[in-house]
Amino acid sequence: MGILSALKGTGGLWFGWGGELTEQEPGEAALDRREGVNYATIELRREQFLRYYGGFANGALWPLFHYMPSKFRFQPEEYAAYEDVNRQFARKLQPLLKPDDIVWAHDYHLIPLACRLRELGVRVPLGFFLHIPFPYIETLRVLPTFSELVRDLVAYDVIGFQTQSDLDSFFTAAAHVFGRQCVVDEGHLNIGDRTVRCGVFPIGVDVDAIQQEAIAARASEVVQRMVDSLSGRKLVIGVDRLDYSKGLVERFTAYERFLEMFPDNCGRLTYLQIAPLSRKDVPSYAEIRGALEQAAGRTNGRFADTDWTPIRYLNRNFAHNVMMGFLRSAHVGLVTPLRDGMNLVAKEYLAAQDPHDPGVLVLSTLAGAARELTSALQINPYDPRALGHALQTALHMSLGERRERHAQLLETLREHSIHAWADRFMAALRASKAET
């Protein structure tokens, strides 16, 4: 969503997999234009995609980059598929490029793309932005092909990260592979005769667009039905893709502990957790779904009454504008990942609020957003008592304090908006072009 918003502002071509799988050899890129954006999409072979996406990308890189080595697995054939798909992307993209173009690749699925494009003779500026965390070298070294991954990354001209700690971790990896002398300063690497720019570019949201969406959706039929069903109770909301990195099992456990610690809240609030299914073919995701259903059933079994259900747990998605209406209606937003690159739900929750009567954000210190959103109630997601106390504080916070905190947070959101993010990264890319 953030990338699409940025692309609508800057113009250009969106290139990537279009969602179609085939048993045959994929054809050339299909060109299309929708809502002012040009698209070039390609198909992937089914078996290759499963090894690339569900295999190496989300079975090896995702858990390792989120500091969860217990979920990590490495299979050489999956790494080979990851390289092959990036090689295929490069072959299909190269004919579409013009001499004055610049390329901005996004996220861990495309780390080798620059190397493969360079092999085809592409000399336009290439930028890369990592949306998820980058692990410290002692964690990264669990990956047998970590050196190849770092060498692929430095083929880009500009490399961007969400936080300073991610950038620092990347420098430890570069120093391990190329020697400490490659780190010139806080923003540059020298790799052979090339200079690679590296920086922190925290991604943001379109505050005004979200506010308008939230206000309009608040009056919609689906949002109004949800609000009416609360019967005057306060709403606590969580919106997360179903993923073990989001800390949902820990959050459900903490909510159960909260009701034990502060029983006066029973019957006075409803916790709505929206968790659309993702990566259903990866075994660990089926496991987390079962754990959450069991945790929600246990809490509801212990505390529910004839007219009150403590947790409403939904494995479905809603339109973005409807979701913004839900967020605006919530007195508390729970964003408690065990590790996250940024977490835009935290920012969307704040942008969707009514500034005259805002809700309170409870935020994990292990989310990248915590570096910017210092006026949120920050907690360690592994500590259920801390989350319980934060939730109690949020539910009883005075209107004056809520307004003050929200005003500070909203100012940060505007300073680091989606447009500022795109402008800063594109400026760095253009500067790298001027230097070549």
Options 157, 240, 243, 340, the catalytic residue: 340
Is 356 one of the annotated active-site residues of the chain? no
- Residue-wise pLDDT tens digits, 81-101: 999 999 999 999 999 999 999
Q: Please give the pLDDT value at position 286.
A: 78
Block means of pLDDT (10 residues each) for the chain, length 436 residues?
66 88 87 87 94 95 97 97 97 94 96 98 96 98 98 98 98 96 92 95 97 95 97 97 95 98 97 85 76 95 96 94 98 98 98 98 98 98 98 98 98 96 95 73
Q: Please give the pLDDT value at position 281.
A: 62
- Residue-wise pLDDT tens digits, 1-38: 557 766 766 678 999 999 889 988 888 899 998 877 88
Q: Do domains 2-203+418-435 and 207-415 have the same CATH topology?
A: yes
Residue 255 CB contacts under 8 Å (≥ 6 apart), including other chains: 271, 299, 310, 311, 387, 388, 391
Note the CATH architecture for domain 207-415.
3-Layer(aba) Sandwich (3.40)
Q: Please give the pLDDT value at position 282.
A: 63
Is 131 one of the annotated active-site residues of the chain? yes
Q: What's domain 2-203+418-435's superfamily in CATH?
A: Glycogen Phosphorylase B; (3.40.50.2000)
Options 131, 331, 406, 416, the catalytic residue: 131
Q: Please give the pLDDT value at position 436.
A: 57
How far is residue 226's CA from residue 349's CA, in Å, rounded to a whole number? 17
Spell out the domain ranges in the chain: 2-203+418-435, 207-415
pTM for the predicted model, two decimal places: 0.94
Q: Is 12 left (phi over 0), alpha (psi -120 to 50) or beta?
A: left
Q: Please give the pLDDT value at position 433.
A: 72
- Taking a C-beta distance cutoff of 8 angstroms, is the pair 198, 171 a contact? yes
* Torsion of the alpha carbons at 151, 63, 51 and 171, rounded to the nearest 10: -10
Residue 215 CB contacts under 8 Å (≥ 6 apart), including other chains: 328
- Taking a C-beta distance cutoff of 8 angstroms, is the pair 242, 248 a contact? yes
Give 200's strand partners: 161
